[in-house]
Structure 1
């Protein structure tokens, strides 16, 4: 480049405003149990967060079957990937194939068509041994004499290799160890921190999701477990602050077992005495069904919330209420079908901060309130769409401007934060996700002693749109309209 300038040229400088980093407002983080015996590596599945962008990856890493009662993570796999087709989803499995297992078992099976069918689930293939049934027992070799594979329902088929040593057997003995999901307790789901091993388990791993994957888990759920009040409260505690930065919402269920909230008349009493009452809780009742499948409503509702956000540019500003669900019925834990009229859904569920479903030309999610209602009618506590959009905006602020922490406290820093965040708020206003918003740096709120101590305070005001929950139109008969019509006809 010449030193004497004659011509035309350009140059670039760094952008003065921070570029927004999207948090994808409704990413699920699900804690529960999976059929890990069907995973590629069953012993590398326990107490570690996984992020899945498709069902095949989930099947490979954690396994999958339709035994939703025993393998609760499969409820969310089904609802997210098969029903709503949304991703990503974070999953934490707490079923340990070295701890939660049954005693070893041996059974004899007849060979039919060169195969034996083991109609048992949870079998760990590395613990499966196939042998002859005679007195002089012969233990056959995997992949030399037979090949064992899983069926779609989790049972196992053992195919005899025609060139192997077992080719002439008419019956075989199978010895195996099985997973025992009944040994998993709610304490396993809640998790803990071991001071000696420095390892976290269960919900304690939620805070590891963002540092490991750069994903903000904004919906916390444990279908099949969150109907236990202790689990729900533990989820709520985690939702208050994740990775020392972010807030989230809990999607949980009420217990519909006999003697609990097994009927609509019992909803309010059970909710109140079981501490389902926080603004961070979106509580669902009862279970949902799709054909022969029955599973916890929280799995469907969380997938539904993520789907709504994904179809709105990742922004969770829409209420889930009166949007289509993909179910065929409602049920209690005992399998009894539940049918709600709209007035019943309103008075027994919505009026006490519970989301349910009604069938009105197709099944609809029904309810706008968080569990804080009716104790709080403040819009920032009550409406599901307002609390979720506030979480989204607050989390995006932290993501976008975290890079400014420890910069010099000067006018440029303040201007970049104010200008940059106002651009984000204006964008949300332009798309009708919020009514409006503004961030300001007020000198009266920032005395010099606070600034010299490294603390600066911004103030953001946001207006959100409440759902049109009650639309009323007053009709009246106006005889003057009739009179005018008749007079016009006479002419």
Structure 2
């Protein structure tokens, strides 16, 4: 550096990057996707993928608008988020467990009719696995998936004539088991699968998971219990809620209520849904549509989940049971489910709406009985408090391992109180106060660098019911008789 004496200034290139970090509602889905349509499908297996739009879903998951939701649950989530007619919404995080190298069966001597040297395989053929005798793929013939989900064969070598005999690997979704969804972590290889991959979503994608679901497997208790455990502590400190389903074989309201209790779907960080619904002619898990409605509602509130998704419109055409039977629920029937902490769908106000402002812990007459449970009555209360916890961690991450003095503590208190005051001013909280209580910060904790703040909040309650008491009075009769003499 040359000798300098005086005041100087320099313009340098900015190194700041736009952060994708979000504390809005980011759903995470674990399930199956048609990655057999991708040549490089390996990077789409047991890896958290951020999906912002349909184009990304096609390139990262092999998605097609024509996918069967029963086979590809992640395609159902993509369709519901980005193709719904109310408000396409994202991003979402998906984790696909379907592996074309593991979940397949061999198909031998299949026959394809060629028209102008082009044929189609209307099957779940794994891209790159097609064999035509001794001919060479890429030289004698070419294979590619079309936008409607069919494998297109283009013949290059004139020696190949119609009909052509082929062999290939066919995806076998029935081989996907509960264990693949639950997954595991192998410390020896640092490899994660299934739900375990959610623990690295923040590190991999720079987003905090806020709602977790595994539609198609949520109704299986061993899967649900893993999801509940994960939501309590993701990656060591993040918290989330989850949305699950009651087994679709259940066909009556009483059976649904009994099933929920007998299978222990009663956690306060869990929203339980029943039954399935219909979207554009396909049966789809209600957990997906509920999450879509959550994200839409939260987006309109700057990402703060203080408003319930209940009584908000969803894009469906009806309610379905597993056997395809159609049904409908009115408000009275919906309330019978709500009073046991089950979220459903009713036709109300001229539209289909999510119906149920509670989480799975709720039971009418019991949850309200103890004052300690007041904060656990509504889904918006629970989700808001989880939001506040995660938000505090995100905004104060840079302070960790820095020297801290009393002015720093006061600075944190002032900043956090301003944040609470802002939420109160917006109506997202009724009350909020943060304190640094001496009794909760003993010398033995402080010398180890452990500092505890205590925040008390009063959540904004939803208007669960409005009652207008109408009573007859005879006072109006006087208007007929007063001043009416001759």
TM-score, normalised to structure 1, is 0.89
CA contact (8 A) 1:217 1:248 kept: yes
Deviation per CA, 1:106-141, whole angstroms, max 9, x where unpaired? 212222343223221x2112111235xxxxxxx434
Quote the Cα distance in structure 2 between the aligned partners of 1:382 and 1:174. 60
- CA deviation map 1:308-364 (0-9, x unaligned): 1112111111111111011001111221112112111111x1011010010121101
Q: Which residue of 2 aligns with 1:226?
A: 218
CA contact under 8 A between 2:21 and 2:207: conserved in structure 1?
A: no
Aligned to 2:53: 54
Say yes or no: does 1:192 pair with 2:194: no
The reply on whether 1:325 has 2:314 as its aligned counterpart is yes
Change (3 A) 1:460 1:56: same
1:161-310 equivalences in 2 (<5 Å): 161=156, 164-166=157-159, 169-257=161-249, 261-310=250-299
Distance 2:122 2:440 in 1: 69
Q: Is the 8 A contact 1:250 1:282 kept in 2?
A: yes
> Would you say how many aligned residue pairs link Structure 1 and Structure 2?
461
Partner of 1:146: 141
Deviations 1:50-101 (CA, angstroms, capped at 9, x unpaired)? 1111111121111114211111111111111111411111111111111111
RCO comparison, higher one (Cα < 8 Å, 6+)? 1
User: Does the aligned pair in 1 maintain the 2:217–2:223 contact within 8 Å?
Assistant: yes
Instruction: Give the C-alpha shift of residue 153 in structure 1.
Output: 4.5
1:407 aligned to 2:395? Answer: no
Deviation at 1:478, TM superposition (A): 1.7
Which 5+ residue runs of structure 1 have no aligned equivalent? Answer: 5-20, 132-138
Corresponding residue for 1:16? Answer: none
With over 3 angstroms needed to count, the CA separation of the structure-2 counterparts of 1:170 and 1:105, relative to structure 1, is closer
What's the RMSD between the two structures over aligned residues? 2.3
What is residue 376 of structure 1 aligned with on the other side? 367
Pairing partner for 1:334 from 318, 323, 335: 323
| 1:18 equivalent in structure 2 | none
8 Å Cα contact 2:313-2:353 kept in structure 1: yes
- Give the superposition deviation at 1:274: 0.8
Q: Distance in 2 between matches of 1:282 and 1:362?
A: 22
* Pairwise CA distance, 1:426: 1.1
Contact 2:23 2:391 in 1 (8 A): no
Q: TM-score under structure 2 normalisation?
A: 0.90
Give how far 1:195 is off.
4.0
Name the CA distance, whole Å, in 2 between partners of 1:490 and 1:157.
94
Q: Give me the whole-angstrom Cα distance separating, in 1, the residues matched to 2:306 and 2:483.
A: 50
Unpaired segments of 5 or more residues in structure 2? 8-19
Does the C-alpha gap of structure 1 residues 165 and 22 become closer, same or farther in structure 2, counting only changes over 3 Å?
A: closer
Q: 2:339 is paired with a residue of what secondary structure?
A: helix
Q: 2:131 corresponds to which residue?
A: 129
Three-state SS of the structure 1 residue aligned to 2:71 is coil
Secondary structure of the 2:342 match is coil
1:458 aligns with 453
Matched residues in 1 for 2:214 and 2:204: separation?
A: 21
Bigger mean CA deviation after superposition, 39-48 or 336-345? 39-48
Contact 1:437 1:461 in 2 (8 A): yes
Name the residue aligned to 2:426: 431
**Cα distance between partner residues in 2 of 1:488 and 1:399:** 73
Cα distance change of structure 1 residues 394 and 113 upon mapping to structure 2, 3 Å threshold? same
C-alpha separation between the residues in 2 aligned to 1:160 and 1:489?
99
SS in 1 for 2:284: strand
> In structure 1, the residue corresponding to 2:105 is in which secondary structure?
coil
* Distance in 2 (alpha carbons) for counterparts of 1:240 and 1:198: 22
CA distance in structure 1 between the aligned counterparts of 2:274 and 2:485, rounded to whole angstroms: 61
Aligned match of 1:8: none
Q: In the alignment, which residue of structure 2 is the partner of 1:359?
A: 347
Corresponding residue for residue 71 of structure 2? 70
Match of 1:94 among 81, 93, 97: 97
Matching residue of 1:350: 338
Structure-2 separation of matches of 1:86 and 1:302: 10
8 Å Cα contact 2:127/2:143 also seen in 1 = yes
| Alpha-carbon displacement from aligned partner over 1:181-209 (angstroms, at most 9, x marks no partner) | 11010111000122443311111111101
Matches within 5 A, 1:441-480: 441-480=436-475
Q: Residue deviations 1:371-398, cap 9 Å, x none? A: 0011534232231111111111111001
